[in-house]
Structure formats: C-alpha cells, structure tokens
Amino acid sequence: MRIAPIVIPAILTVVAGGCAAPPRAEVDRETPLRLVDTDGAPQDLDAILAGGKNVALVFWQTWCKPCRNEAPALAHAAKLHGDAIRFVGVVPGSVDQAEVVATAKEWGLTYPQVIDGDLALTTRFDVDGTPTLVVLGPGRKILHHDHHVPEDWTPLRGSKQACVDGVCPIGQSPEGELR
C-alpha cells in the first residue's frame, strides 16, 4: 500500500507527542504587546522587555489538572526569579473572570493574569494546549516554548541577575536597576 510510508511516520509523530508545529524563533515585532490584567492594570510587555527583564507567559485553564499540578512550581519560580522575569498568566478563550481570579488565588499564582478572549495571544505564540509556558527575551525572541516548567531557569533570566544577601552583580543595584 502506498499510503503506509506517509501515514506511519505521521502516526508515530503524534504518538510521540510531536503533533504541534515547532514554535517560531521570533514573533511579530510591530504589533504592541500591551495587555490588561484581571485587575485592570496594564501589562506592557514591550516596556518590560526593553527594561531588561524577560517575560514568561503562562498559558493555563481553571479546569486543567496538569496546570494545577505545575502551579506550585510556577509560583515558586515567579518568587525566585521575579527580579529578572515578569510572569504573566494567560487564560485562553471565553472564561469567567471571577473564576480565573479565584483559581489563581487558590493555586497561589500571585503574578498578573490576563484573559485572552479572542485567542489572539494564544494563536500568536502557537499555543496548542495548556499548560504552555512561553518565555520571551530581547527582541521578543522565544527562549522557551514547552508544556512543562523548566528545571533550570538560569538561561531564561535575561540581563538582570539576582542579588544574594545584598551582594549584586557588578553594575546592578539591589532593586535590579542597572548602574
């Protein structure tokens, strides 16, 4: 049968978990990345990136068990790396804002949450399911695009490095400002 050489590799790709298209190395640089979170506060991701911080977009759903399972690791990472990475939760689709806020609180997600009602952000970053973590670096370069929390956040920290017990990298103040 002639179909077998095409069908079998396709089936193996899906079974192995490789059904999603590979993420783009960069995203559209012209459309502003300005969001409004569930508290009504602006989240200007371009300004955050220009300030030397990377941005972690955490795509999740209130009903998603794997999202709930990864929430403690993400909450911990946000506290540990918040000086260098701005975490922003993104809930795709038409969802109840009160439920998003309550679930984020219950799961310990203290970083801002946005609702991607029109799926524009979800589509823009090729998110094919939740949980998905997309970390953006300078120039909106995608540094990480995966369904799992990275074991090592060090390469994703960007230009700002942590101060430990008041000792900071040369040229950086304890507030994270570059001197």
CB 91 within 8 A of CB 114: yes
DSSP E strands: which ranges in 105-176?
113-116, 132-136, 142-146
Residue 164 has pLDDT above 60, yes or no: no
What integer pLDDT is reported at residue 2 of this predicted model? 45
Lowest mean pLDDT among 1-10, 68-77, 122-131, 140-149: 1-10
Pick from 12, 38, 27: which is nearest to 139 by CA? 27
What integer pLDDT is reported at residue 25 of this predicted model? 45
Query: Cα(15)–Cα(64) distance, rounded to whole angstroms?
Result: 21
What integer pLDDT is reported at residue 166 of this predicted model? 55
Instruction: List, in order of start, the domains of the chain with CATH numbers.
Output: 33-149+162-179 (3.40.30.10)
Query: Cα(83)–Cα(164) distance, rounded to whole angstroms?
Result: 12
Residue 119 has pLDDT above 80, yes or no: yes
Query: Cα(108)–Cα(102) distance, rounded to whole angstroms?
Result: 10
What integer pLDDT is reported at residue 32 of this predicted model? 83
CA-based end-to-end distance of the chain: 68
